Structure 1
Amino acid sequence: MTRRALCIGINNYPGTQMDLAGCVNDANDWADELGARGFEVKRLLDAQATKAAMLAGMREVIGAAAAGDMVVITFSGHGTYVPDASGDERDGLDEGLCPYDLKTGGALLDDEIHAIFAARKGGVHLVLISDSCHSGTVTRAAPGGDDDADLPRPRFMPMAAWLPPERLPRAAAGKPAAASTGESPFARAVSRGGGDLLLSGCKEGPNNFSFDARIRGRPNGAFTHFALKALKTLPPTASYADWHAAVTPAALPSASYPQSPQIVGSAAARKRPVFG
């Protein structure tokens, strides 16, 4: 079995005034952990993580995998949503991941991610780890001032921060945008009957956020920090369900980081050994 991983971390979002601090550390932390477990790891950090590079990286890691291989993709950065152009979303919004060149290249949408993963060979197992928000509101996700730069910041990119005014939903013109009720952009890629798994830093739906944190002076995603901390305490035979239980409610949500990490996948997938 070949193990491959793609770890993406984006702090810098030019032109949005919505920069983060802990996402590159997240990507490096995941890459170090996975590398120590025998994965071939590729990293895309900040300016490397354009939309084109993210698409190419996902296609490469998925396309190289054969039956029985494992692929892990981690993403730390902003999540967002855009008006649905295809009419397949009940809430009228497509969920997306925010690449470095969001303002010029646009979001990486759930439809695009689904198409990449749907083309994989049979028997390839996916583990997707998302330390970002996939729904929210403009008011809750608005950045603070310079005096509270060290406070936790939601990893959610409001549409008004990057879309031109003519593309915003009518309700968003001068008002907070309606929140998405959809899934993580990775959720459609998970084959619930094929042993795939999604670990995400927060619940779906309005006002649920993954937080950019500063823990003992070091910027990190709260979910990434506590997930990796919990992983180091588990025996080698621990399952994904065991790992999830060691993170929540043991560490999250907390008073500082009110987020509830989620695990999505079949019962069989949850019982598989972590990265096994």
Structure 2
Amino acid sequence: MFMLVNCSNCHTPLQLPPGAQSIRCAICRGVTLIADPRSLPPPGSSHQPYPPPSSSTASSPYNHAPPGAPPQVHGRKRALIVGVSYTNSRHELKGCLNDAKCMKYLLINRFKFPESSIVMLTEEETDPYKRPTKYNMRMAMYWLVQGCQPGDSLVFHYSGHGSQQRNYTGDEIDGYDETLCPVDFETQGMIVDDEINATIVKPLPRGARLHAIIDACHSGTVLDLPFLCRMDRYGKYIWEDHRPRSGMWKGTSGGEAISFSGCDDDQTSADTSALSRITSTGAMTYSFIQAIERGHGNTYGNILNAMRSTIRHTDSQIDGGVVTTLITMLLTGGSVGGGLRQEPQLSSNEPFDVYTKPFSL
């Protein structure tokens, strides 16, 4: 029976084996000594790393912010960047490491994220705790939100394979959970959208913001956010209600969570050199960065339209990435007949006017 104990240095929840007197954190590498085992939760207890959502008098069922004025702004920036290449496997992707490096450069140079506040998980890392394994991804997601306070800006970027699996709880409109695939997913399993939501969405306090940028197949609702922006090719949109019929809580604890994803839940995403003409990239990551760099990053609606336009205008070239796309299809079961089509998506914990709400990280 494993129990949870917080790291004495960075406060990340750690799974403590029975009888252990110390444990090393996978994020900060600090060692936590267990001085008094009697202070730990008893076996079988339902100790949770986050408290349940508090009650609220707010009108929205997905806004659990406490009443009154918001607390004092804190203002830290923190990011988790994951690029999974699946090197030397039948699922290998060529552009994910480039995506991770480009996103780090963008956050540091355009949005002034301190380099020390960015955790990178890629197969290029020599530190075993910085490889994109399932365990490391889980611990890094805990780190991302740990100690989050009002005014904090968090970013989660993922470039790699995504997939789907049958949902049996009734909280998915299409009957499928969306998943992310760590480098060791074939032996350790995938990370399901329910876990991603519980780890980095639900704990967000009032005044904190999370932006997820997910470049993967089947990623439209991979954060399980309650509302999806359904936009047509002319820029007209409605917010589609994805709140589970079971009534399960999928919102935040008063904070703001917004996700840009590479495609709809039933689509696949390209890993190709057709866009940059120089090196392989994820089509979604490339189009997102291009939207920012070309001055379309003032509102969420402008970013989404610019991303879709970039991908739509290169559809005929994306067929150049058909070999990589075929590798992707081995995992997702999709089809490449007629060329790849993907439409980036926007989802949120609350609906908003996408053309007036300013975008900022």
Answer whether TM exceeds 0.5 for this pair.
yes
CA distance in 2, matches of 1:95, 1:124: 25
Higher share in helix: 1
- 1:184 equivalent to 2:221? Answer yes
Give 2:95's match in structure 1, choosing from 22, 39, 42: 22
Q: Give the equivalent residue in structure 2 for 1:213.
A: 272
Q: Secondary structure at the match of 2:78?
A: strand
CA distance in 2, matches of 1:247, 1:234: 12
Give 1:102's match in structure 2, choosing from 166, 185, 199: 185
Q: Give the equivalent residue in structure 1 for 2:118.
A: 41
Q: Give the equivalent residue in structure 2 for 1:121.
A: 205
Taking every aligned residue pair, what percent have the same amino acid on both sides?
30
Q: Give the equivalent residue in structure 2 for 1:241.
A: 301
Q: Give the equivalent residue in structure 2 for 1:267.
A: 352
CA distance in 1, matches of 2:88, 2:165: 18
Q: Secondary structure at the match of 2:312?
A: coil
CA distance in 2, matches of 1:235, 1:79: 27
Query: Which stretch shifts more, 2-11 or 32-41?
Result: 32-41
Give 2:157's match in structure 1, choosing from 74, 93, 116: 74
Q: 1:94 to 1:245 in 2, by over 3 A?
A: closer
Q: 1:90 to 1:229 in 2, by over 3 A?
A: closer
Larger radius of gyration between Structure 1 and Structure 2: 2
Q: 1:259 to 1:87 in 2, by over 3 A?
A: closer
The 8 Å contact of residues 14 and 101 in structure 1, kept in 2 or not, is answered as no
The 8 Å contact of residues 51 and 108 in structure 1, kept in 2 or not, is answered as yes
Listed one character per residue, the Cα deviations across residues 95-124 of structure 1 (whole Å, up to 9, x for unaligned) are: 210001101110000111111121233322
Tell me how far 1:268 sits from its aligned partner: 5.0
**TM-score between the two structures when normalised by the length of structure 1:** 0.72
CA distance in 1, matches of 2:151, 2:202: 16
The 8 Å contact of residues 190 and 198 in structure 1, kept in 2 or not, is answered as no
CA distance in 2, matches of 1:229, 1:62: 28
Q: Give the equivalent residue in structure 2 for 1:158.
A: none
The alignment yields a C-alpha RMSD, in angstroms, of 2.6
The 8 Å contact of residues 110 and 185 in structure 1, kept in 2 or not, is answered as yes
CA distance in 1, matches of 2:251, 2:311: 26
Q: Secondary structure at the match of 2:137?
A: helix
Q: 1:235 to 1:260 in 2, by over 3 A?
A: closer
The 8 Å contact of residues 78 and 97 in structure 1, kept in 2 or not, is answered as yes
CA distance in 2, matches of 1:190, 1:127: 14
The 8 Å contact of residues 66 and 124 in structure 1, kept in 2 or not, is answered as yes
**Which ranges of structure 2 fall in alignment gaps of 5 or more residues?**
1-74, 226-249, 319-340
Q: Give the equivalent residue in structure 2 for 1:203.
A: 264
CA distance in 1, matches of 2:310, 2:94: 25
Q: 1:190 to 1:8 in 2, by over 3 A?
A: farther
Listed one character per residue, the Cα deviations across residues 147-178 of structure 1 (whole Å, up to 9, x for unaligned) are: xxxxxxxxxxxxxxxxxxxxxxxxxxxxxxxx
